[in-house]
Amino acid sequence: MKLKKGNRFLLHLLFWLIIYIVYLTQYLFDERSDTLRHQFSTFDRGLTVFFHLLAVIAASYFSTIRVLPFLLDKKRVIRGIIELCAGIYIIAICSRLSIIYILEPILGESFGDQESMLQIVSQLSILVKYYIISIISGALPFIIFYLLIDRQRILRKHAEIEKEKIRAKLDVLKAQINPHFLFNTLNNIYSLAIQQSVETAPTIDRLSQLLDYLLYRCNENHVSLDNEIQFLRNYLDLGKLRFGDRLSIHFLYTKDQSYSIPPLLLVPIIENMFKHGAEQTTGPIVFSITLKAENNQLTLDTSNNFISGENKDTGIGLLNLKQRLDILFPDRYLLSVLEKYEIFEVKMQVPLI
């Protein structure tokens, strides 16, 4: 889940508060230090830990924000190492300066003569022993935490990109409903209007419902199965206009409860029946369509007659459908095609929710 800017700030604040409490607890209960420590009050100790933590925080954000991008780029690793060493060295100097010139006067304790700036900068052994090592070890938990969070962010971003790619591909596949069908339907409506048929208005209404579903109702990832079946009925009714009494449609739909389904998953099979069955047959045409929605699974069985020897290349029909099924239900669907005795049969099984 992506955090808002304010939430990220609170998360960082909480992290450092926990680190501060851990440091302070260790400092309060560590009895190995010299007796000078026992002269400090709890406030003094808390202030000392706070000054140390400021250096750790500076090193942490400098390392993650400035240096890590260089270290993760093979071409700029050397620059990253140089900047890391220089940055930690400068932070250590600033930390020692703040302790000598700010913390020690606040504590009111005398720890000897104050070193000059030149002495502070040049005493590398003291900086390494008392500052650099502790600053680096203190920054490591944050750096590790940052890398883990950043990795999750990158993985999430990649997943979102893949999801968008899949969604875009599905949108393209859904949009590939044969426009030839709509063209023929308009021609049929025109013929009905010329004849002043009473079927003109109901036919326009069915076409309107079909277009409404295509344009507005199927934009979600899942739609009601009943709505999808109604769309299928309208599609069949409009397709039957072209073939009249030559086309017989046997349609059976049963269900044991209400389900949802990805939109426009069934129509490619029905469209294929018109394109490679009805349109290539001169005699009687019989469509048999059986739909069963039971036990969270949809089974669609269709059959139609065709002329043996005709080109039955399904084009973007069943190929389109198979591509969608591969994306939506990888290894969880069945799609089989069988041709026998001039009968073309298709069976599809998909999970329902």
Last residue of a domain, one of 142, 170, 198: 170
Coil vs helix vs strand at 86: helix
Give the torsion through C-alpha atoms of 160, 161, 165, 171, to 10 deg: 50
Q: Which of 284, 287, 271, 353 is nearest to 319 (CA)?
A: 271
Q: Kindly tell me if the per-residue pLDDT of 330 is higher than 80.
A: yes
Q: How many domains does the chain have?
A: 2
Tokens, residue 163: 């999801």
Coil vs helix vs strand at 309: coil
At 36, is the pLDDT very low, low, confident or very high (cuts 50, 70, 90)? very low
At 112, is the pLDDT very low, low, confident or very high (cuts 50, 70, 90)? low
- Residue 250: per-residue pLDDT: 94
**Higher-confidence position of 1 and 332:** 332
- 212 and 130 part of one domain: no
- 241 and 152 part of one domain: no
- Residue 333: per-residue pLDDT: 92
- 22 and 143 part of one domain: yes
Query: For the chain, how many residues are written?
Result: 353
Residue listed under structure tokens 């079909």:
210
Q: Kindly tell me if the per-residue pLDDT of 302 is higher than 90.
A: yes
Contact 301, 266 (CB under 8 A): no
Last residue of a domain, one of 170, 200, 231: 170
Tokens, residue 300: 């669609």
Q: Which of 243, 179, 248 is nearest to 210 (CA)?
A: 179
For residue 266, which phi and psi values (nearest 5 degrees)?
A: -95, -30
- 191 and 339 part of one domain: yes
1-15, 175-189, 266-280, 294-308: which has the minimum mean pLDDT?
175-189
- 22 and 162 part of one domain: yes
Tokens, residue 61: 């954000």
- 191 and 286 part of one domain: yes
Coil vs helix vs strand at 199: coil
Q: Kindly tell me if the per-residue pLDDT of 245 is higher than 60.
A: yes
- 201 and 347 part of one domain: yes
DSSP for 232-280, written as a single string: HHHHHHHHHHHHGGGEEEEEEEEESS--EE-TTSSHHHHHHHIIIIITT
User: How far is it, in rounded angstroms, from Cα 238 to Cα 184?
Assistant: 9
- 211 and 165 part of one domain: no
- Residue 323: per-residue pLDDT: 82
Mean pLDDT of 73-96: 90
Q: Kindly tell me if the per-residue pLDDT of 225 is higher than 90.
A: yes
- 46 and 107 part of one domain: yes
- Residue 188: per-residue pLDDT: 77
Burial of 118 (0-12, 13-18, 19+ CB in 10 A): exposed
Q: Which of 122, 102, 132, 130 is nearest to 114 (CA)?
A: 102
Confidence (pTM)? 0.55
- 166 and 267 part of one domain: no
Structural domain for 41, as ranges: 5-170
- 61 and 139 part of one domain: yes
Q: 184-193, 295-304, 315-324, 330-339 — which one is most confidently predicted on average?
A: 295-304
Paired residues of 304 in beta bridges: 287, 344
- Residue 198: per-residue pLDDT: 83
- 277 and 325 part of one domain: yes
Last residue of a domain, one of 125, 153, 170: 170
At 260, is the pLDDT very low, low, confident or very high (cuts 50, 70, 90)? very high
At 166, is the pLDDT very low, low, confident or very high (cuts 50, 70, 90)? low
At 343, is the pLDDT very low, low, confident or very high (cuts 50, 70, 90)? confident
Of the chain, the percentage scoring pLDDT greater than 70 comes to: 84
Mean pLDDT of the chain: 81
Give just the sign of the alpha carbon dihedral 200, 206, 209, 215.
negative
Give the DSSP H or E segment for 286. Answer: strand 285-294
Burial of 276 (0-12, 13-18, 19+ CB in 10 A): buried
Q: Kindly tell me if the per-residue pLDDT of 74 is higher than 90.
A: no
For position 285, which CATH number holds? 3.30.565.10
Which residues, 6+ apart, have CB-to-CB distance to 144 below 8 Å?
none
